[in-house]
Amino acid sequence: MGIFSVLVFVCCCYCSFGWREEDQPVQTFVIPHSHMDVGWVYTIQESMHAYAANVYSSVTEELSKVKERRFIAVEQEFFRLWWDTVASDLQKKQVQQLVNDGRLEFILGGQVMHDEAVTDLEDQILQMTEGHGFLYQTFGVRPQFSWHVDPFGASATTPVLFALAGFNAHLISRIDYDLKDAMQRNKKLQFVWRGSPSLAAQQEIFTHTMDQFSYCTPSHLPFSNSSGFYWNGVALFPNPPKDGVYPNMSVPVTKETIDAYAKTMVENIKQRAAWFRTNHVLWPWGCDKQFYNSSVQFRNMDPLMKYINQKSKEFGVTVQYATLSQYFQAVHQANLTWDVRGSRDFLPYSTEPHQAWTGFYASRNVLKGLARRASSQLRAAEILFTRYRVNYPDGPVAKEWALDKLRALRWAVSEVQHHDGITGTESPKVADMYVQHLMQGMMGVQELQAALFLLPHDLGDPENFHGADVDQPLEQHVIIYNPLAWNITTVVNLTVKLAGAAVFDDEGQPVPAQIQRSAQSNVSYDLFVVVKLGGLQHRKYLIRFSGKSAHTYEGKTVVFERRRVKDWTRTGRLRLPVLNQCYKLMFDQETNLLHSITHLYSPTKRRVRMTQDFWEYLANGDVNAGPISDNYIFSANGSAVRAYQAVEMQIIPGQIVTEIRQYFYRGENDSDYAYFITTVVPEFSSLPCHRLQQTYSLGPLQLNTEVVLRTSTSLKNNKTLYTDDNGFQMMKRTYRKFQNNTLARNYFPMVRTASIKDELSGLVLLSDRAHGVSSQANGQLEVMLHRRLWNNQPWNLGYNLTLNDSSVVRPSLWMLLGSVNATSRLHQREAVELQHRPIVMPIDNPRKPWQEKTSCGSPVHPVVFPPNLHLLSLSVLGWNYSSNHSIHLSHILSGKGAPPEPDYDRVLLRIMHLYEEGEDPELSKPVTINIKEVLRGMGEVMILEERSLTGTWENASLKRWKWKTANDHEKKKESHQGHKDFILTISPKEIRTFFVHFSSRNLA
């Protein structure tokens, strides 16, 4: 039916113009490109040296020689490194000219081509903002098309963000092999995608799915042993060859070979033309690490294209060098009516029946956790610096120094979002590189935070701040800072070295606390402190270690001896309750496992049977014995097996929290445990009682095991689960049966949230880093926490991609259980609160002024947003382009470029509505706020301009292309875009971006 209707439609369309499709030669857009992974097998430095710098040097030279030649530049990190450290003045001039002429086109424009499965939307936006800011400042251009050719599966968040960034079309490639096959046959590779159910047509985008050849030129030539159209061969590491002769260079185009080349190319073009509705073929010319020797590339392709065009009648094909925008313009001008795709994504992703790319959701857990922590720290520091700039424009913290620290961490957090970065699919040395860049950036930002907190009263040299452990004898000061624009009451766990402690706030009032022996160390103690902070506020706390305090409860450990666990012992006859205002948790004394949780806080009380424990998938390491698991692929070799024989338990009942510690032993008599769960149940009355905080410890794992935390419940979810796309929206995941590999193909990425539910209750897990999740049995939710693998596949071994990860990992999950309504109201905010937990900064040797009540810095007024709005970003970007495009352009065209001084007064503000339409009766409503009012605690807002997502464009003048769809009449009227007198209304799932100027005040 699909094919038939399409054919009829195409025929009608063309017949009405009096000519037939077949009469026209296929118009082919040959798009030269180089896929440059910002990481993967080689470090960035190695890549720059071996090929990446040569790509831009040689492309600049070759494009400048012949005006028909084109190139698209994609990953900004390499381009910027080249621009800043390699390019000569002449090359910079040439690039400027090529960009102005549209011969060199920046596509996508992010620092990297970010992964779509395991990245958080806040980081996706960050890395795009970073790249777009550079491009706009330097060239006055904004990228308008995407080129997501390599991320492993496609998320429904991406089309939304790209629409918000002002893109006219989106391009993806890696989707399930069987689905792509069907779409190809039915000419359905192109469609209009409405990625968000709430935003729908408001942020829809035309999407092109690459055909089966994907982003590389066909790699086989029938007349030669060499591969494809790669005349410059393959990049050589570590050094480029001195004689310019690279391995595997294709036979040159000569009189003898030109006809064979032409026929091969034409045949391929015609094969592809049959899969698309218009008469245009996108023919990507390039692949990984190509065009480092552009001269030989173009020298061969120029005559070949000329030859084909001379015989275009005979071949039925014309060819031209093109940028991506030229291709999309042609398709757009065809003015066809396109199918609409709703908010479904393309995750997970399989390349073959036994190749499910669901392993990487859990590869390199430590890197995934670090990347998220770094991002959260960056956001907190950005807000802090913004506040400082507004209040102390002439304050003693040097703004250049501060911006450098922020920029270094922006760069590191952007870089790791690469699709071979946070995914964990890189070689060990590249993983080490990301970690090093992140750690360096975080240290710099900690220095900055220390400087900002201690000033203006204490002008201590930030370089001399030690950020030491909380282990000062007798007295210790800490600053606790809430980076959220909501008031919070929460519990902060400080690790201390002494057993008795009293905590006081900055007004000298005692603060409720609890102290007990640390879960994982014999020499330290966990001090749980109840903190109450306004939005974006910080407070100073004093800890006195001398003696006891009436306000500090001393937790005493109750030990439950080791129990051997067998299925038949799970009788639940001897149960031990742990109670708070929201829950009654029952632990089974015969197994030391969780037995059930009754949720008490919803209108409907209900007891849900629930067990949590660890299971292992045993991976195959021998390619000759069957499918293997590696960095990318999860290929279960049978069902999971229970990973322990015995469990020990400790319970520390308390007044602030009750803590349950469960130690899982692989062997009944082992001396060391293999897995560990600690569950913190809030007891203090002002704490949110629904939040059960769990932390796990596992590793080093045995080789070829993939470990899951399995939560088995009595919920009747029919193996359906819900997982989030990038923390932006929840996707329903219905269990699907496949001929092969059903287990692995039912694994999904969890960035922040996974949940299961039945009619009465929902169970939600929130995460501080990405994992793989699945529901393999009714009522079950399993989270893959860690993997350690090795296999003998030559490709894996050659690139060191077997994932022999011997680290110990300590991820956290927050668990919510309640009525379906209660959990669907809570989980968005809880996920954000987990992401942006309070920042704790110990202060060494607090100096005099800090001891006085009057000196807790400036009055820090709270900034509080409505509960359904999240302050996504508040940051002094430092880019110095004019907000007025014509003025900025005239600066650039005058040859002077943008002024060198960063703009410290323009603040980027981003606000997100957290709820979907209809998700909650109250919280899903549009919210109207007065920006002047909500930001008053920060300063006086004078100017507010609405901008595109990455800040580079005035929102009102974006004018994205419209693409016709069958149900155009269903398009909603434009929502409440724009604002008047600082008053704006934000609708469900909207992300709104502004430039804000505050009136200058100087409190210093």
Active site residues: 150
Give the DSSP H/E element, type plus range, for residue 586: strand 583-588
Judged by CB under 5 A, the residue of 115, 120, 123, 150 near Zn ion is 150
- Binding mask 73-112 vs Zn ion (x if CB under 5 A, - otherwise)? ----------------------------------------
- Nearest approach in angstroms of CB 36 to Zn ion is 8
Task: Characterize the bridge pairing of strands 753-757 and 761-767.
Answer: antiparallel
Q: Is 769 strand, coil or helix?
A: coil
Q: Which of 98, 27, 93, 44 is nearest to 68 (CA)?
A: 98
> Residue 36 or residue 698: which is nearer to Zn ion going by CB?
36
Is residue 123 near Zn ion by the rule CB under 5 A? no
The rounded distance, in Å, linking the Cα atoms of 458 and 452 is: 10
> Residue 150 or residue 683: which is nearer to Zn ion going by CB?
150
The encoded tokens of residue 267 equal: 């045949």
- Nearest approach in angstroms of CB 159 to Zn ion is 20
Tell me the β-bridge partners of 647.
Answer: 563, 664
The encoded tokens of residue 863 equal: 């900034």
The rounded distance, in Å, linking the Cα atoms of 170 and 14 is: 26
Task: Characterize the bridge pairing of strands 169-172 and 280-288.
Answer: unpaired
- Nearest approach in angstroms of CB 156 to Zn ion is 21
- Nearest approach in angstroms of CB 37 to Zn ion is 4
Task: Characterize the bridge pairing of strands 340-341 and 190-193.
Answer: parallel
With CB under 5 A as the contact rule, which of the stretches 145-153, 518-526, 633-641, 923-931 interacts with Zn ion? Answer: 145-153
- Nearest approach in angstroms of CB 420 to Zn ion is 6
**Spatial CB neighbours of 893, under 8 Å, sequence gap ≥ 6:** none
Query: What is the SS3 string spanning 255-314?
Result: CCCHHHHHHHHHHHHHHHHCCCCCCEEEEEEEEECCCCCHHHHHHHHHHHHHHHHHCHHH
- Nearest approach in angstroms of CB 964 to Zn ion is 33
> Residue 150 or residue 426: which is nearer to Zn ion going by CB?
150
> Residue 35 or residue 272: which is nearer to Zn ion going by CB?
35
- Nearest approach in angstroms of CB 171 to Zn ion is 14
- Give the DSSP letter string of 518-532: -SS-SS-EEEEEEEE
Q: Which of 54, 805, 131, 802 is nearest to 418 (CA)?
A: 131
Please give the backbone phi and psi of residue 258, each rounded to the nearest 5 degrees, phi first.
-65, -35
- Nearest approach in angstroms of CB 419 to Zn ion is 5
**Spatial CB neighbours of 682, under 8 Å, sequence gap ≥ 6:** 491, 580, 656, 657, 688, 689, 691
The rounded distance, in Å, linking the Cα atoms of 8 and 3 is: 9
Give the DSSP H/E element, type plus range, for residue 694: strand 692-698
Q: Is 788 strand, coil or helix?
A: strand
Q: Which of 291, 285, 286, 284 is nearest to 235 (CA)?
A: 291
The rounded distance, in Å, linking the Cα atoms of 810 and 696 is: 5
Site for Zn ion in 775-814 (CB under 5 A): none
Residue type, 805: D
Whether 210 contacts 184, CB under 8 Å: no
> Residue 114 or residue 745: which is nearer to Zn ion going by CB?
114
> Residue 34 or residue 472: which is nearer to Zn ion going by CB?
34
The rounded distance, in Å, linking the Cα atoms of 184 and 204 is: 22
With CB under 5 A as the contact rule, which of the stretches 150-158, 441-449, 598-606, 779-787 interacts with Zn ion? Answer: 150-158
> Residue 35 or residue 710: which is nearer to Zn ion going by CB?
35
- Nearest approach in angstroms of CB 769 to Zn ion is 22
- Nearest approach in angstroms of CB 113 to Zn ion is 7
- Nearest approach in angstroms of CB 212 to Zn ion is 18
- Give the DSSP letter string of 523-568: S-EEEEEEEEE-TT-EEEEEEE-SS--TTEEE---EEEEEEE--GG
Whether 162 contacts 116, CB under 8 Å: no
> Residue 430 or residue 898: which is nearer to Zn ion going by CB?
430
Q: Is 757 strand, coil or helix?
A: strand
Q: Chain-centre distance of CA 358, in angstroms?
A: 16
- Nearest approach in angstroms of CB 288 to Zn ion is 7
Task: Characterize the bridge pairing of strands 502-504 and 510-511.
Answer: antiparallel
Number of shown-chain residues binding Zn ion (CB under 5 A): 2
> Residue 430 or residue 877: which is nearer to Zn ion going by CB?
430
Size of the chain in residues? 1004
> Residue 196 or residue 631: which is nearer to Zn ion going by CB?
631
> Residue 34 or residue 612: which is nearer to Zn ion going by CB?
34
- Nearest approach in angstroms of CB 142 to Zn ion is 23
Judged by CB under 5 A, the residue of 28, 36, 37, 308 near Zn ion is 37
108: left (phi over 0), alpha (psi -120 to 50) or beta: left
With CB under 5 A as the contact rule, which of the stretches 64-72, 146-154, 464-472, 817-825 interacts with Zn ion? Answer: 146-154
**Terminal CA-to-CA distance of the chain, rounded, Å?**
73
> Residue 18 or residue 798: which is nearer to Zn ion going by CB?
798
> Residue 130 or residue 150: which is nearer to Zn ion going by CB?
150
Give the CB-nearest residue to Zn ion.
Answer: 150
The rounded distance, in Å, linking the Cα atoms of 90 and 107 is: 23
With CB under 5 A as the contact rule, which of the stretches 36-44, 45-53, 256-264, 711-719 interacts with Zn ion? Answer: 36-44
Whether 611 contacts 590, CB under 8 Å: no
With CB under 5 A as the contact rule, which of the stretches 149-157, 196-204, 669-677, 984-992 interacts with Zn ion? Answer: 149-157
Task: Characterize the bridge pairing of strands 558-564 and 646-652.
Answer: antiparallel
With CB under 5 A as the contact rule, which of the stretches 143-151, 178-186, 259-267, 848-856 interacts with Zn ion? Answer: 143-151
Give the DSSP H/E element, type plus range, for residue 869: strand 869-878
Footprint of Zn ion on this chain (CB under 5 A)? 37, 150
